[in-house]
Structure 1
Amino acid sequence: MSEPGPEAGVERRTSSRLANDAWESLLTAHALLMKQFAAEDVWHGLTMREYDVLYTLSKCPEPIRPAELNRHVLLTQPALSRMVDRLVDRGFVQRTRDSRDGRGVRLSLTPEGRTRQRRIGGRHAVGVARALTRALSDDDLRRLEEICGKLADTTNRKQP
Structure 2
Amino acid sequence: MTGTSKTTASLKVTLDSWESLFRAQVAVMRKISAMEEFNSLSMREYDVLFNLRFCPGGRSRLVDLNQNLLISQPSLSRMVTRLEDKGLITRESDPDDHRALLLSLTEKGLALQQEIGRQHAKHLHELLGDAMSEEEFREMQRLTGKLREAVA
TM-score by length of 1: 0.86
Structure 1's consecutive aligned runs of 4 or more residues displaced over 3 angstroms after TM superposition are none
Instruction: State the Cα RMSD in Å.
Output: 1.1
Where structure 2 has 5 or more consecutive residues not aligned to the other structure, the ranges are 1-8
1:43-54 pair list within 5 angstroms? 43-54=38-49
- Which residue is equivalent to 1:15? 10
* Contact in 2 for aligned 1:44/1:120 (Cα 8 Å): no
Q: Counterpart amino acid of 1:54?
A: L
Instruction: Report which of the two has the higher share of helix.
Output: 2
Matched positions, count: 143
Secondary structure of the structure 2 residue equivalent to 1:97: strand
Distance 1:38 1:46 in 2: 11
User: Is 2:81 aligned against 1:96?
Assistant: no
TM-score by length of 2: 0.90
Aligned-residue offset at 1:38:
1.1
1:51 Cα deviation (Å)?
0.4
User: Could you tell me how far apart the structure 2 residues matched to 1:25 and 1:130 are?
Assistant: 22
1:122 alignment partner, one of 118, 122, 143:
118
Give the one of 25, 32, 36 matched to 1:30: 25
Counterpart of 2:74 (choices 69, 78, 83) is 78
Q: Alpha-carbon deviation of 1:44?
A: 4.4
Task: Mark the structure with the bigger radius of gyration.
Answer: 1
- Segments of 5+ residues of structure 1 without an aligned counterpart are 1-13
Q: Partner of 1:41 in structure 2?
A: 36
